[in-house]
Amino acid sequence: MMNVHDLAAACGFTYYNGETLNGGAVGGAYCCDLLSWVIGRAGDGDALVTVMSNPNVIAVAVMADLPCVILSEGVKPDDKAMEKAKDNDVIVLSSPWTTYETAVKINGVLKAAGDRE
Instruction: Output the pTM of the full model.
Output: 0.94
- 55-112 pLDDT per residue, tens: 999 999 999 999 999 999 999 999 999 999 999 999 999 999 999 999 999 999 999 9
What is the C-alpha separation between 101 and 11, in angstroms, rounded? 11
What is the C-alpha separation between 117 and 112, in angstroms, rounded? 10
Mean of the per-residue pLDDT values of the chain = 95
Continuous segment of H or E residues that includes residue 93: strand 91-94
Across the range 17-34, mean pLDDT stands at: 94
CA dihedral 61, 55, 22, 30 (to 10 degrees): 30
Across the range 13-21, mean pLDDT stands at: 95
Homologous superfamily in CATH for domain 2-112: HprK N-terminal domain-like (3.40.1390.20)
